Structure 1
Amino acid sequence: MDIDIPIGPWIAAVVDYLQEHAAGAFDGISYFIGALVEGIEDALIWVPPWIIALALVGIATWRVGWRFGLFALASMILLFGMDLWRETMQTFALIASSTVVSLAIGIPLGIWASRSDKVETAVRPILDLMQTLPPFVYLIPAAMFFGIGKVPGALATIIFSMPPAVRLTNLGIRQVPKEIVEAGLAFGCTDRQLLLRVQVPNAMPSIMAGVNQTIMLALSMVVIASMIGAGGLGNTVLTGIQRLDVGLGFEGGLGVVILAVLLDRVMQSFGRNRGETVNPLGRLRALISRPDTDGERTASGRVARSAGD
C-alpha cells in the first residue's frame, strides 16, 4: 500500500503561518520570560556568594537536619572550589523561573481538571504527548520561534516540566476523602471555601510532590537546553563533551547533581512536614507554658488549627 500522509509539511505550514501572523505574541512571551530569567539571575549574582551559601546551608539544616546541613556546607565549598558558582546561579535562575511559570499554569489547570471531568478528558492526551515526546524535540519549535538563548531554553523547560504539576494536583484533590468534603459542605462551605480550606490543604502532599517533580524535570532539562544557548552548568557539560574533556564535563555534571540533591531534599521536607512546622513564637509559648494532658493538648491543637484556618 502506498499511503502518503504529509505530517511534516503540514507542521511546517502551521509554523510558517504562526511566524508570520503571531510575531507580536511571541515577542511578548519572549520579553516576559527573558525579563523573569534575567531578573532572577541578576539578583542571585548581585548578592554576595557567601550570603547565598549561608542561606542555603541554613535552610537545609532547618528543613532536613544538621547532617544534611553539613552536606550543604560541603557542597557550597565544592562549588566555590570548582569555580562554578556563577554557572550554578545561572542554572538556578533558569530552574526557578521555569518552575514559577510551570506551577502558575499547572496548578490552576490541575484544580480545574479536578472539578470538571470534561476538562480532565481534554487535558489528559495533551499531557501524555508532553511527557512522551523526547526532550530534544522541544528544542526545535523553541529555537524556531524564539531564536537562540535563555528564553527558548526556559520555554522548552517549562513545557517539559509542567505535566507533573497538573497531574498530581488533579489527583490529590480527587483523592480527598468524601467524608471530609461532605463535612465541609455540612458546615456551610461555599465552593471556594471548600476548595481553599478543605480540598487543597488535604491534597497538599500530592501537590508538593508535583512541585518537586516539576523542579526535578526542569533540572534534568538544563543540560539539553544548553544546546540552544541556555548557559549555566549545562553549558559546562556541553563544552566538556565538545572538547572531549572528561574532567570539565564531570565538574559540570557534579554541579548539577549537587543542585538536584539540595532542591529535592528541601522540597520533600516541605511536603512531608507541612503540618509539623511551628513558628518561633509558637514554639516559645509551648516551652514556657504548663504541660497539659494528651487529650487537652490534642483538643487545643485542633482549636488552634481551626482558628488558623
Structure 2
Amino acid sequence: MDGFRIPLGEWAVDAVAWIRDNLSWLLSAISTAVGWLVGSLADLLLSAPIVVVIVVAALLGWVVRSWKFAIGTALSFAVILGVGQWVTAMQTLSLVLIATVIAVAIAIPLGILAARSNRFSAVIKPVLDLMQAMPGFVYLIPAIVFFSIGFVPGLVATVIFALPPGVRLTELGIRSVDSETVEAGHAFGATPGQILRGVQLPLAMPTIMTGVNQVIMLALSMAVIAGIAGAPGLGKEIVQAMSTVNIGTGVEAGISVVILAIYLDRLTSALGDMRGQQGSLLGEIGRRRAGAAASQRGLAQVA
C-alpha cells in the first residue's frame, strides 16, 4: 500500500485555482456587496450614541421577552462598554447579523424545497453533513484565497458553517405539520403556494425559529474563528490575546462574546415562542386587547 494515495488535496487546489481564475468577477461582486453590508451596519452601530444602542437593545428585549430581560440587557451591554470592547463587539455583532440574514435567506428556501421533494432532500443531506462536520478553520483557507483578509472571508466562512441547521430545521418543521391539516387545505381548494404560506409555514414557525437560533449561535462561534482571517471584532481581539498570552484582554473579549451570545439566543428563542412570553410588551398588549374585546362582547350581550 506504499504507493496508494488519493490526490484529494491536489483536486481541491485545482478547483480553488479554477474558481479564482474564471470567476473573479463573481468573487469581486461578492466581496464588494458583503463588505459594504457589514461595513455599513458596523458604521451605523458605532456612529449612533452608545446610550441609544443600549436602550434600543433593551427595548427590543422587553418587547419580545420581558422587562427583566431588558434590564439584564442594559447591564450586560454596560459591561461590554466598561471593559473597553464596545467597538469590537459592534463589529462582531454586525458580522453575525449580516451572516445570519444571508444564511437564513438561503436556508429557508432550501429547507422548503427539501420538505417538498424527497429526491432533493436525499441529495442535500450529505452536503449538509459535510458542511457541518468540516472543521470551521478549513473554510477560512479558500475564503482567504478568494477574498484576501478582512470582513469578507470571515463572513463567507461563517455563512457556510452556520447554514446546515437552518436547512434541516426548516425541512423538519414543514414535514412535521399534520397531514390532515394540509389535506383540509387541499379540500377547500387552496393551491400549494397558499397552503405553504397559510398553513405549513405558520405551524412550522417555532421549529424554523429554532433553526434561526442555531444559525445565530454557529455564526457567532465562527465569527470568533474568523478573527484568524483578519476580520475585525472580538475574534481578532481573542486571537491577538492568544498570540501575546494576554489573559486580561482574552477574558474581556470572551465575556463580551458570551454576552452577545446570551442576548441573541434569548431574543430569538422568544421570537419562536411569542405566546409563552408572559412578561413581554407584545404579550401584555395582546392580553389587554383580548380583555377589551371580551368586555365589549359581554356588554353587547347584556344590551
Q: Same fold (TM over 0.5)?
A: yes
Q: CA deviation at 1:8?
A: 1.3
Aligned length: 294
The offset of 1:4, in angstroms, is 2.1
RMSD: 2.0
| Counterpart-to-counterpart distance in 2, 1:118 and 1:13 | 30
Give, as a single letter, the amino acid of the residue that structure 2 aligns with 1:116.
Answer: S
**Within 5 A, what are the aligned runs for 1:210-289?**
210-273=211-274, 278=282, 285-289=289-293
Tell me which amino acid in the other structure corresponds to 1:291. Answer: S
1:180–1:292: structure 2 CA closer, same or farther, 3 Å change rule? farther
Residue 83 (structure 1) aligns with? 84
Counterpart Cα distance in 2 of 1:289 and 1:22: 60
The answer to whether 1:131 aligns with 2:132 is: yes
Relative to structure 2, which stretch is displaced further, 273-282 or 190-199?
273-282
Once the two structures are TM-superposed, the CA of residue 80 in structure 1 deviates from its matched residue by 1.4
User: What CA deviation, in whole Å up to 9, does each residue of 1:111-130 have, x standing for no partner?
Assistant: 11111111111111110000
- Which residue number corresponds to residue 26 of structure 1? 27
Structure 1's 197 and 275: CA in aligned 2 closer, same or farther, altered over 3 A?
A: farther
Distance 1:274 1:208, change over 3 A: farther
Cα drift, residue 21 of structure 1: 1.1
CA distance in structure 1 between the aligned counterparts of 2:202 and 2:290, rounded to whole angstroms: 24
Change in 2 beyond 3 A, CA 1:179/1:293: farther
Amino acid in structure 1 at the alignment position of 2:67: W
- Name the amino acid aligned to 1:82: V
Secondary structure at the aligned position of 1:208 is classed as helix
- Report the CA distance between 1:289 and its aligned residue: 4.3
Counterparts of 1:9-48 in structure 2, within 5 Å, are 9-48=10-49
Report what 1:51 is aligned to.
Answer: 52
Report what 1:291 is aligned to. Answer: 295
Q: Structure 2 unaligned runs (5+)?
A: 299-303
Shift of 1:64: 2.2
1:3–1:223 distance in 2 versus 1, CA, 3 Å: same
Shift of 1:58: 1.4
Return closer, same or farther for 1:290/1:268 CA change in 2, 3 Å cut-off. Answer: closer
Residue of structure 2 equivalent to 1:183: 184
Does structure 1 retain, via aligned residues, the 8 Å contact 2:275–2:283? no
Give the stretch that moved more between structures: 224-233 or 274-283. 274-283
Measured after TM superposition, the shift of residue 62 of structure 1 is 2.7
171-180 vs 55-64, greater mean Cα deviation:
55-64
For residue 301 of structure 2, what is the aligned residue in structure 1?
none
Q: Take 1:282 and 1:4, find their aligned partners in 2: how far apart are those partners?
A: 65
State the alpha-carbon separation in 1 of the partners of residues 132 and 178 from structure 2.
29
1:244 corresponds to which letter in structure 2?
A: V
TM-score (norm 2): 0.92
Query: Within 2, Cα distance between the matches of 1:131 and 1:285?
Result: 44
More deviation in 262-271 or 13-22? 13-22
Classify 1:285/1:207 alpha carbon distance in 2 versus 1 (closer, same or farther; 3 Å): closer
Residue 279 of structure 1 and its aligned partner are, at CA, apart by: 7.9
State the alpha-carbon separation in 2 of the partners of residues 266 and 149 from structure 1.
28
Matched with 2:195 is 194
- 1:107 positional shift: 0.5
Instruction: Using structure 1 for the length normalisation, give the TM-score.
Output: 0.90
Letter of the structure 2 residue corresponding to residue 217 of structure 1 = L
Deviates more, 1:244-253 or 1:3-12: 3-12
Shift of 1:92: 0.6
